[in-house]
Amino acid sequence: MMQTNTIAWPAPAKLNLFLHINGRRTDGYHELQTLFIFLDHCDWLRFHINDSNQVTIEPALADVPLEQNLIYRAAMLLKQHSAAPLGVLIELDKRLPMGGGIGGGSSDAATTLVALNHLWHIHLPIDELAELGRQLGADVPVFVRGHAAFAEGVGEQLQPVEIKEKWYLVLVPPCHVSTAAVFQHPDLKRDTPKQKWPELQQGDWHNDCEPLVKKNYPEVEKALRWLIEYAPSRMTGTGACVFAEFEHEAHAREILALMPTWLHGFVARGKNLSPLHVVLQQVYA
């Protein structure tokens, strides 16, 4: 069995290969259809277990109070399921951008739930762990479950899928997009008809948030305009990150090498099984 007190646990990025918004519910949430895949580009967390009954995170995230940090909230939520004085020091190696639409905060929270569920010997089943995740954010359950998925409802209805694992060039424009602000905006497109998964597999994928975000965040529009010169491109989630898909890593890296200096970016492989769950399988092997 792997020595779990010394390993780094990955919190992978995700992409929404499409995001269709089907309507707004009376409670203010939105009905949507989306396809989640994981990338092998991750934040990394190390968990140093102790009996201090305290949750400490190093380094602290700038401009995010500890009580609002999703990692902290995930650990505190899990602590409620044990009477023992559980404590942990969490080292965070933050590589995923905040406000980028690739799930950095949600993924960190999910990795915290999955890792501490094991390291604190709580052993909640995956369904309960995903339900805890849902209290932290709509995207957390897909990271907890760890498989590429077609999502419906408000994102909580997950159907595991297998898609071809391609290469992706992801650009990170120099801006932070608020998910809440996008979904509350009156100009958001909310009328894409629902389709069944077999129909969607054959269809023309798009992101209903993209026109609004491009209008309000010129950096996103500029990044898309540059990338689309080289390959079909679109935005992930509510932005700000945009991506293009490639059959071969070398092609993606050729385009990355041409990237203008005002942008950041990376190349990563799409994954049906989350890198987090690859580690989890090794832990239990």
* pLDDT given for residue 67 in this prediction: 92
Whether pLDDT at 155 is above 60: yes
**What is the mean predicted confidence (pLDDT) over 50-76?**
92
Whether pLDDT at 66 is above 50: yes
Has 139 been annotated as catalytic? yes
Locus of tokens 């762990």: 129
How many Cβ atoms are within 10 Å of 108's Cβ, its own excluded?
A: 28
Q: Are strands 242-246 and 167-172 parallel, antiparallel or unpaired?
A: antiparallel
User: Tens of pLDDT along 76-126?
Assistant: 999 999 888 899 999 999 999 988 899 999 999 999 999 999 999 999 999
Amino acid at 236: T
Element (H, E) at 58: strand 55-58
Domains of the chain (ranges; CATH) run: 9-161+273-284 (3.30.230.10), 167-271 (3.30.70.890)
Q: Which among 14, 79, 222, 271 is annotated as catalytic?
A: 14
* Residues in contact with 99: Cβ distance below 8 Å, sequence separation at least 6, in sequence order: 175, 176, 177, 178, 240
The tokens of 265 are what?
């970016």
* pLDDT given for residue 228 in this prediction: 97
Which has the closest alpha carbon to 228: 215, 210, 216?
210
Q: Which residue has the higher pLDDT, 282 or 63?
A: 282
The tokens of 132 are what?
């805890």
Rg (CA), the chain: 19
Q: Which among 108, 139, 214, 222 is annotated as catalytic?
A: 139
